Structure 1
C-alpha cells in the first residue's frame, strides 16, 4: 500500500502545479485505502452470502428429493390401497357365491330327505325311480344302496360347499383387514407428505430471503468496485453455469462407462408408441406440478409419465417404482425418445423417487417439484440417473 501511495505522490509531482491544484477531486491515499478496504469487506460479505445461499439451495434440493420420495410413497400407498380394496371386494363376492352354494347344497339334502320320507324322489333323481319302486328284497337292498349313495354325495357336496364358504369368509375378512391397513398406511404417508411440504415451503422461504440478502450485498459490492450489479450477477451466474457444465459432463461420462458393462434387454418400439408419448408430454409443458396430479391440468412426475404412455396405448401405474418394474431396463447408450429415466435415493429400484421422459440429445421432459411446472431440462440436472427403461 505504501508503494501505491508513493506512486500516486510521484504522479502528482509530475503534473503541472496548476493542474494538480485544479484537480481537487483527486482522492487521497487514505481515501484510496479506505475504498479498497470497503470493497474487500463487501466482497467478503458477498462471498459469504453466496456460500449461505448455495448451502440453503442445496438443503432445498435435498428436501426436494425427500419430498418426491414422500410423493411416490403416497402414490404407492394409494395404488396398494386400491389393489387391496379390489381384492377385498373380490373376496366378498367369492364368499357370497360360496355361501349360496352351501345353501343350495343344504336345500338339496333337505329335499332328498323329504323325498325319502314320502317314498318318492326329486326330479333330479328320476333316473332312480325304477330301482326305488321295486318290491322284492333284493330290489329293496339296491334301493337302500342307491338312496345312501345319493345322500352321501349330497352330504359331501354340502360339506365341501360349507368348507368353501368358511374359507371364503375367512379370506374376505383377511382381505378387509388388509384393505383397512392399506387405508391407514395411505393416511400415514399423506400426513408425512404434508409435513414434508411444510418443511420444503419453509426452506424455500429461507432461500428467497438469502437470495434477496445476496442481491443487496452484490449491489453494495458493485458500488464499492464502481461496477454494476448486472455485471456482478453475470459473473456469479457464469461461475455457476461452468460448475453445472462440469458436473453434467462428469455425469454423462459416468453413464457411458456404466453402459459399457450393463446388460441391455431393450425391446423394440411398436410403431408410433414413443412419438405419441413424447407428443403428449410436450403438450403438457407449462402445466403446474401438484402432488398426486395425473392430469389433465396438473401432474406429478409419475402422473405425467403414466398419462403420456397411456396415450401411446401402454398402461402404467401411478407409481414410479412400479413403472420401472413393468418396463424393460436398458443402458444410457441405448436411450431413444420416449424412454423413461429414473432416479433412486439409495440406488435400488424399490427406492425410485423420480421419473422423466427422455427426448434425445441429453434432454428430458419432467414434472420436477412443487412450485415448478412441466418443462424441458437437462438429463443431468439431478446427477447421473440410476435407471433407464422402455415401457
Structure 2
C-alpha cells in the first residue's frame, strides 16, 4: 500500500476510535468485538506520524536538490569569471608584448643611428690620421703653438671617436635588453592565450555540468513533487504551488536574517569606533583653578588625531545612468562571457551599466573591485558594486551585482536565470563592496 493510503487508513482508524464510546471492562480488549485495541490505535498513530515524517523527508530532499542546483550554478559562475580573468590577463600581456615590440623598433633605430655616426667618425678619423699623428705634428709644425694646436685637435678627435663608440655600445645594449624583454613578453602573451583557452574550456564544461545538473534536479523535483502530492492527498499542481511558496518564504526569511545580521554587525562596529573615539585621552593638562574666583568650566581641547581616510565621494550622475541601464536589461538572458547587447554575465552587466554611466570597467569582477574604491556595507548607495568571494581575499571574487538602493540589486545570476532585481541577501551575504 502507498504511504498516502496508509495515512488515510490511520486517520479512518482514529476517527473510528473517536466515534465509538469506550466500553468498560474486558470487552474493550476482546478480539473481533468491533472496537480497535490499544495496539491498533498505537499502530494508527504511528502510521500517521510516519506519513508526516515522509512529507518532511520529501521536503528535506527538495531542499537538498535546490542546494545542489545552487552549488553547481556557483561552480559555473566561478569558472566563467576565471575565464573572464584569463581573458583580461591575456589582453594585458598582449598589450605588454606590443609595447615591448615598439621599444625594440625604437632601440633598433637608435642603434642604426649610433652605428652610422660611429662609422662617420671612423672615416673622419682615418682621413685626418696622417696629419694628426704625434710624429707628424712635431715634424710639420711651424712652432710650439702649432704642435699644441694639432695635439689638441688629435685628442678631441679621439675623444669624439670614443664617445661615438660608447653611444653605439650603449644603444646596442639597450636594444638587446629590449629584445629580451620583448621575447619574454611574447612568451607571457602566448602562455596567457593558452591559459585563456583552458579557462574557456573549463567554463564551458562547468556550464554544461550545471545545465545537466539542473535537468537532473528538475526531474528529481518533479518526482518529489508527485510523491508530496500523494502524501498530502492533493494535486501535483497544488503541491507545486505550495512548495514554491514555501521555498520563496524560506528565501525571504533567510534574506531578512542575513540582512539583520549584517546590520547588527555594522551597528556593533560603529558603536566600537564611537567608544574608541570617546575614550581618547586629552594630552593637554587643564590649568589649575584658583580657589577664590570660580571660573566657568570650559571644554578641554583635544589633540588632533590622525583621521582615517575619508570615504570615496557618493556616486555622481553616472550612477543613475548605470542603474537605469541595468533596469533596462531586466529579463534578458544570462550567458557566460557575454557583455550585451541582448545577453549578459555578471561582470559584463556591471561593465555595461557603468559604461553607460561614463566609467570604463574591465569585464572581470576581481579587476572591477581592484579599480574601484572599497566601501563598507553601511555606505552603500545606488550605483555601487556588491561582490561575492569564496574567501576574505579579493582575488577570490567570482560574482558582482549593481546595488540600486533599499537592499536591492540588479545582476545576471547564472545560466537559467535572467537579469533580475532582488535582495542582495537572496543567496549568501556578499563580502566585498566598492564604488567605481
Tell me the TM-score normalized by structure 1.
Answer: 0.83
List, as ranges, runs of 4+ consecutive aligned residues in structure 1 with deviation greater than 6 Å: 33-42
Other-structure match for 1:115 = 124
Q: Tell me if the contact between 1:56 and 1:203 (Cα under 8 Å) persists in the aligned partners.
A: no
Deviation by residue 1:14-61 (Cα, 9 ceiling, x = unmatched): xxxxxxxxxxxxxx99xxx99999987766555433322221220121
Residues 384 and 230 (structure 1 numbering): CA distance in 2 closer, same or farther, change over 3 Å?
A: same
Partner secondary structure for residue 434 of structure 2: strand
Distance 2:92 2:49 in 1: 64
CA separation in 2, counterparts of 1:3 and 1:220? Answer: 20
Structure 1, residues 278-306: CA drift from partner, whole Å, max 9, x if none?
A: 01111111111111111112111011101
Give the secondary-structure state (helix, strand or coil) at the position aligned to 2:173: helix
Counterpart of 2:205 in structure 1 is 195
**Could you tell me which residue of structure 2 aligns to residue 236 of structure 1?**
243
Structure-2 change in CA distance of 1:252 and 1:375 (3 Å)? same
Q: What is the match of residue 257 of structure 2? A: 250
Name the structure 1 match of 2:97.
88
Given the superposition, is the C-alpha separation of residues 250 and 233 from structure 1 closer, same or farther in structure 2, using an over 3 Å criterion?
same
Report deviation, 1:119. 3.9
Q: Which residue of 1 aligns with 2:400?
A: 355
Alignment partner for residue 288 of structure 1, among 333, 337, 348?
A: 333
The equivalent residue for 1:63 is: 72
Q: Does the 8 Å CA contact 2:90/2:196 hold for their aligned counterparts? A: yes
Out of 156, 166, 172, which is 1:156 matched to?
Answer: 166
1:156-203 Cα deviation digits (max 9, x unpaired):
110110010011011111111111111111122122212212221221
CA 1:173 to 1:321, structure 2 compared with 1: closer, same or farther past 3 Å? same
Q: Distance in 2 between matches of 1:255 and 1:264?
A: 23
Matched residue count: 358
Secondary structure of 1:106 counterpart: helix
Q: 1:310 to 1:251 in 2, by over 3 A?
A: same
- Across the aligned residues of Structure 1 and Structure 2, the Cα RMSD in angstroms comes to 2.9
SS of the equivalent of 2:254 reads helix
Distance of aligned partners of 1:265 and 1:216 in 2 relative to their CA distance in 1, 3 Å threshold: farther
Shift of 1:271: 3.6
Deviation at 1:10, TM superposition (A): 5.9
Assess if the C-alpha contact under 8 Å between 1:219 and 1:228 holds in 2.
Answer: yes
Output the CA distance in 2 between the equivalents of 1:278 and 1:327: 17
Change (3 A) 1:205 1:379: same
SS of 1:219's equivalent in the other structure is: helix
Counting only pairs closer than 5 Å after superposition, residues 32-181 of structure 1 correspond to structure 2 as: 45-119=54-128, 136-181=146-191
Bigger drift between 243-252 and 76-85 goes to 243-252
How far apart are 1:333 and its partner, in Å? 2.0
SS of the aligned residue for 1:52 comes to helix
Larger radius of gyration: 2
Alignment partner, residue 285 of structure 2: none
Query: Aligned partners of 1:177 and 1:103: how far apart in 2?
Result: 27
Change (3 A) 1:3 1:181: closer
| Structure 2: runs of 5 or more not aligned | 1-9, 23-34, 130-140, 271-307
Matches within 5 A, 1:294-333: 294-333=339-378
Q: Describe the shift of the 1:286–1:265 C-alpha distance in structure 2 as closer, same or farther (beyond 3 A).
A: farther
Q: Distance in 1 between matches of 2:417 and 2:237?
A: 25
Conservation of the 8 A alpha-carbon contact between 2:315 and 2:384: no
Take 2:122 and 2:148, find their aligned partners in 1: how far apart are those partners? Answer: 22
Q: Which runs of 5+ in 1 are unaligned?
A: 12-27, 121-133
2:16 match: 5
Contact 1:264/1:329 (<8 A) preserved:
no
Measure the CA separation in 2 of the matches of 1:264 and 1:342: 22
Task: Output the TM-score relative to the length of structure 2.
Answer: 0.75
Classify the secondary structure of the residue corresponding to 1:377. Answer: strand
Shift of 1:112: 1.6
